[in-house]
Amino acid sequence: MTTETVTISALSHKGSGIAHGERGPIFVPYTLPGETVAIARVKDEGTVMSFATTSPDRVQPACKHFGPEGVGGSCGGCSLQHQAKPSYNGFKRDLLVQALKSKGIEAPVGDLIEAHPHQRRRLVFTVRRREKGLVIGFNQAETHHVVPVEECPIASEALISRLDALHAIARATGSDAFRITVTETLTGLDISMDGLRGGLGERERRAVTETVIKLQGIARVSGNGEIIVEPHKPQLDFDGARVVIPPGAFTQATREAEEAMAKITIEHIGKAKRVADLFSGIGTFALRIARKTAVHAVESEERAVKALDQAARMTQGLKPLTVERRDLFRRPMTPQDLKAYDAVVFDPPRAGAEAQSAELARSQVKKIVAVSCNPLTLARDLSILTKGGYKIRQVIPVDQFLWSPHVEAVALLER
C-alpha cells in the first residue's frame, strides 16, 4: 500500500472517481471530478484519507451508512449520495449516451426521469448470524462484510419501518446465513427468503408461522420459493389489474418508474391493433396495454405466466390477452411468428435480447419498444435493430436505482 495525492478527473461507470497515476487509472470511491485527495492506494484502488479541495457538486449524504465513514462500514447499496442532483442526473444520462456511442449509435437521448427518496418498494437484505446476534443489512462493496442497516433513505417507509419484523422472522428460521427479498405490496410485505441451507424443518416453519401471525402488515413469507405462511395474497396493481405475485418474482424497483415507462410505451405503440410483449414477466406492460389493444405475452418463467394469466382472467374491461411460456433466449419469436403483430415490447434481463433482436431485425413489425436495465446490452440490441432497418426515435433514461450507477432506459423504434 502507498499513499499519494491525486486529482479526480472523471467518474467511472461504477460511480468511483478516476485519477490518472503513472501506472494507469486509479479508482477512488466517494470522490467527484475536480477534487484533490490524499489516498491510500493498493494497485488501482484508492481509499480517501483526506481532501485538499472539494467539488462544488459535493453535498451532504442522506444516509449515515454511506461513504468511508459510514456507521458499521460503508453500505454497498449507494455510490453517489455525495453528488448534487444536476451533475448526478447528467452522469446517469451520460451512461446511456456513452453506451450508445460505443456501438456507433447516434440517437436522441431524452432527459433523465428522476428517482426520489423513499420510492424503492423492493430491497434485498443479507442475513448473517454473529456472536452478538443476527445482523440484517447490505454487503459492503466488494466484500462479504454485512453492514447492519438502521435506516435507508431510498426505501419506502413501509419497508424500512419493518426491520424489527424482519429480525423476528429471520431469528425464527434458526439459519445462520441467507438472503431476504422484501417487496411492498397492496396487501402487506411479501418476504422471500433464499439460500436457506437444507430448507426449514417443521419446528422452524412453525416458529416462522407463529411469528408472522403475531405481526401486522405481512402478506406472505416463503423460503427457497416455497410458501411458509400467507395471511394475505400479495398483490400489485397494474392499471386496475390485480396480480398475485409469485414468491421471489421480479418486479420493477419503484412504482413511479414503472408507471413512467408504461406511459411512454403505450404512447409509442399508439393505435397498434395487436402487440407482442416479450419477456413479459408478471404483466407489468401487458396488462396495461390490454386496456387498449390485444396483447400476446411471452415469458419463460412458469409461475410468472400463471400469475399474469390469472390476473387477465380476473380483470374486467381488457382486450384479448393471451399468454405463452417460451424461452426467448433459446427459441426467439421468428419473423413468421411476428407477422400477426404491428408492435412489439421487450424487457429482457440484464443479458439483453440479442437473439430476439436478430429475429425482430428480419421482421416487418412497425413499432418496437425496447426496455432495459443495462445500457451496454441495450446498445448492442439497438445496433442489431438499426442494421435491420429500424430508426430510433428516442431513448429515454429512467432512474429507479437512486444514488447507484445503474440506469434504466426505454428506446422507441419504428421501421
The residues annotated with a catalytic role in the active site are 373
**Nearest alpha-carbon partner for 181 in 224, 212, 211:** 224
In 131-217, beta strands by DSSP E: 133-139, 146-148, 177-185, 188-194
Paired residues of 139 in beta bridges: 146
Residues 6+ apart with CB under 8 A from 195: 177, 178, 179, 224
> What is the bridge-based pairing of β-strands 24-28 and 36-42?
unpaired
Q: At 35, which amino acid appears?
A: E
> What is the bridge-based pairing of β-strands 218-223 and 188-194?
parallel
**Nearest alpha-carbon partner for 370 in 393, 389, 399, 387:** 393
279 is in an annotated binding site: yes
Residues 6+ apart with CB under 8 A from 149: 65, 75, 125, 136, 137, 138, 163
150 is in an annotated binding site: no
Cα distances (angstroms) measured from residue 368 to each of 70, 276, 412 = 44, 10, 6
Q: At 376, which amino acid appears?
A: L
Cα distances (angstroms) measured from residue 284 to each of 272, 294, 307 = 18, 15, 11
**Nearest alpha-carbon partner for 135 in 177, 99, 94:** 177
Strand order in the sheet with 343-346: 321-325, 294-299, 274-278, 343-346, 367-372, 408-414, 391-398
119 is in an annotated binding site: no
| CA within 13 Å, CB half, 305 | 15
In 149-239, beta strands by DSSP E: 177-185, 188-194, 218-223, 226-229, 235-238
- Could you tell me which residues are annotated as the binding site for S-adenosyl-L-methionine? 252, 279, 299, 347
- Could you tell me which residues are annotated as the binding site? 252, 279, 299, 347
